[in-house]
Amino acid sequence: MAAEDPLEITPEELAALRLRQPDLAVLDVREPWEFAICALADSHPIPMGEVPAHLDSLPPGAPLVVVCHHGGRSLQVARWLRAQGVARAVSLAGGIDLWARTIDPSLPRY
């Protein structure tokens, strides 16, 4: 992923990235109760409303995939992060729900 990348990636693209890029970070912006139901392995939970307070802890140059339930919140956060200088932030299109339907059907859906 690079700064000129699209703002969203598909679950299939994320699955491939997770295999190729060990420094890839996954930021889950859902609420704690949602994260408790299901989550991607090694994802970092920070609810959407708390992301600004944690901006300094996010890697500005590393690839960062933002995840939510269906992709709406994560897209908003990815746009905001890019505006703040986190150039490699992208949103997972379809969110964890599409990931569970297409990549990992063992994950519970809600």
Number of domains in the chain: 1
Strand 25-28, strand 44-45: pairing? parallel
Output the pLDDT for position 72. 98
Query: At 43, which CATH number?
Result: 3.40.250.10
Residue 3 lies in a domain: no
Residue 110 lies in a domain: no
pTM over 0.85: yes
Residue 82 lies in a domain: yes
Residue 107 lies in a domain: no
Residue 91 lies in a domain: yes
Residue 86 lies in a domain: yes
Output the pLDDT for position 61. 79
Residue numbers of the domain that contains 86? 8-102
Token couple for 100? 């569970």
Residue 2 lies in a domain: no
Maximal C-alpha separation, the chain: 35
Q: Could you list the pLDDT tens digit for every one of the 110 residues in the chain?
A: 554 678 999 999 999 999 998 779 999 999 999 999 999 989 999 999 999 999 999 877 788 999 999 999 999 999 999 999 998 999 999 999 999 999 999 999 99
Output the pLDDT for position 23. 78
